[in-house]
């Protein structure tokens, strides 16, 4: 009597949790291995367990030490991936044989999976040495498309005393999977919206905490951005690019929202400017007037080796002003070129020749000779 009362209390506690949630399994497609061969027409079909008629049951072939098979499975395809909160199974009962029936079903497992392979899913329940009630339910806070029932009786395995082991028939009269029919809601009435940054907009069906976060977010409700210098799923990736003004990368994508720092380019600002370019995102061209035909500084555009002869300015883009020549335009032309043409800004020579009375190379030497009598 005490055990029976405990089972009733346990069942009521679980049913209280499921009130208001949607029935996800009614009349959905079910499959099983293997259907009992002695059934008439469809009287043992897998779909009988989701037709909401307690009088019709799914029945599988027997398993056990004297049976042909060692394991059986049954699953229902919910048709899509849903948030699940509870699974209820109403096993077949025969008056006067309740303990035998409980021993037949003992040891079963329940999974929720995105495939029909239970090993790739979430284990919701594994029966222990105790015998299950024939009206069984368990809370399982997870999500998936398939709810899978599995049981076995293996040769060479010692099972608890009350287990039926020789010829075990499994009869599932009703399997009720409850949860929310929309994947992005939670709460006992499925009327609260999951936080925006939950991965796949999925959250705990009870309290709304995110099952996982979209890239760039952390916290139970995925409302905390990645710390500076990190981005991506679970903020596990480190920013590696050279973002403009040394600002950290975007915490979701890892990209530099305001562009690259001077001297860098690429989607993540990880590529140095090619030779001959400089500046933000490498859009600027070098002057090409660096001393020794060396490329300019990728970041500043300046000539680290100095300007080529005949050029000056911060970026070596400016030719010498009229009347000056040489490295850094530091030399003064003689001013004696023919017809007052400026000297060559590179060599200082008068390319047009010297004015009368002056001679090469710089037209700064007078040809006149002073005679002293």
* Residues constituting the chain: 373
Q: pLDDT averaged over the chain?
A: 89
CA end-to-end span of the chain, whole Å? 152
Distance of CA 245 to the CA centre of its chain: 28
Which class is 2-180 in CATH? mainly beta
- Give the pLDDT score at 372: 42
Question: Is this prediction's pTM over 0.75?
Answer: no
Eight-class DSSP state of 243: B
Exposure letters 111-126 (e unless 16+ CB within 10 A, then b): bbbeeeebeebbbbbe
Both structure tokens of 4: 């029976």
Q: Encode pLDDT of 11-68 as tens digits.
A: 444 443 455 899 999 999 999 999 998 888 889 999 999 999 999 999 999 999 999 9
pLDDT surpasses 70 at 373: no
Query: Confidence band (pLDDT; 50, 70, 90) for 360?
Result: confident
- Give the pLDDT score at 288: 87
- Give the pLDDT score at 351: 87
Q: Which residue, among 354, 108, 226, has the nearest Cα to 213 in the 3D structure?
A: 226
pLDDT surpasses 60 at 6: no
Query: Confidence band (pLDDT; 50, 70, 90) for 8?
Result: very low
Is the separation of the CB atoms in 134 and 98 below 8 Å?
A: yes
Query: 101: which residues sit within 8 A by CB, 6+ positions away?
Result: 91, 92, 93, 94, 134
CA 358/CA 228 separation, integer angstroms: 71
Query: 58: which residues sit within 8 A by CB, 6+ positions away?
Result: 30, 32, 35, 44, 45, 46, 47, 48, 49, 74, 171, 172, 173
Q: Encode pLDDT of 173-225 as tens digits.
A: 999 999 999 989 999 899 999 999 999 888 999 999 998 999 999 999 999 99
pLDDT surpasses 70 at 93: yes
- Give the pLDDT score at 19: 59
Query: Confidence band (pLDDT; 50, 70, 90) for 346?
Result: confident
Q: Encode pLDDT of 113-126 as tens digits.
A: 999 999 999 999 99
- Give the pLDDT score at 99: 96
Three-state secondary structure readout of 73-105: EEEEEEEEEEEEEEEEEEECCCCCCHHHHHHHH
Q: Where in the chain is the domain with CATH 2.60.120.260?
A: 2-180
Query: 351: which residues sit within 8 A by CB, 6+ positions away?
Result: 337, 341, 343, 344
pLDDT surpasses 80 at 358: yes
């Amino acid at each position: 009597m005490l055990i029976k009362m405990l089972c009733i209390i346990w069942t009521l506690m679980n049913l209280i949790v499921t009130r208001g949630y949607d029935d996800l399994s009614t009349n959905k497609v079910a499959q099983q291995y293997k259907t009992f061969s002695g059934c008439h027409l469809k009287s043992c079909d897998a779909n009988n367990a989701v037709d909401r008629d307690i009088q019709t049951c799914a029945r599988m072939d027997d398993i056990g030490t004297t049976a042909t098979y060692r394991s059986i499975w049954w699953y229902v395809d919910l048709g899509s991936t849903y948030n699940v909160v509870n699974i209820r199974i109403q096993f077949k009962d025969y008056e006067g044989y309740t303990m035998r029936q409980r021993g037949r079903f003992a040891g079963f497992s329940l999974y929720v999976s995105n495939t029909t392979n239970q090993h790739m899913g979430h284990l919701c329940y594994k029966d222990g040495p105790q015998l299950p009630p024939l009206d069984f339910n368990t809370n399982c806070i997870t999500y998936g498309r398939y709810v899978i029932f599995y049981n076995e009786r293996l040769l060479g395995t010692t099972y608890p005393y009350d287990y039926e082991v020789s010829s075990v028939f499994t009869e599932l009269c009703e399997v009720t999977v409850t949860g929310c029919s929309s994947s992005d809601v939670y709460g006992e009435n499925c009327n609260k919206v999951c936080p925006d940054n939950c991965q796949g907009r999925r959250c705990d069906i009870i309290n709304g905490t995110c099952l996982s976060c979209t890239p760039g977010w952390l916290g139970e409700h995925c409302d905390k951005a990645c710390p500076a210098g990190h981005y991506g799923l679970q903020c596990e990736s480190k920013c590696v690019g050279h973002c403009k003004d040394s600002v950290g990368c975007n915490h979701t994508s890892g990209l530099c929202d305001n562009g690259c720092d001077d001297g860098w380019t690429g989607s993540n600002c990880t590529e140095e400017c090619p030779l001959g370019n400089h500046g933000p995102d490498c859009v600027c061209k070098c002057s090409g007037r660096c001393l020794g035909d060396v490329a300019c500084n990728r970041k500043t555009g300046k000539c680290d080796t100095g300007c080529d002869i005949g050029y000056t300015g911060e970026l070596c883009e400016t030719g010498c002003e009229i009347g000056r020549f040489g490295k850094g335009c530091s030399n003064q032309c003689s001013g004696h070129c023919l017809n007052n043409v400026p000297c060559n800004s590179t060599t200082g020579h008068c390319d047009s020749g010297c004015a009368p009375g002056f001679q090469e190379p710089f037209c700064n030497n007078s040809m006149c000779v002073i005679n002293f009598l």
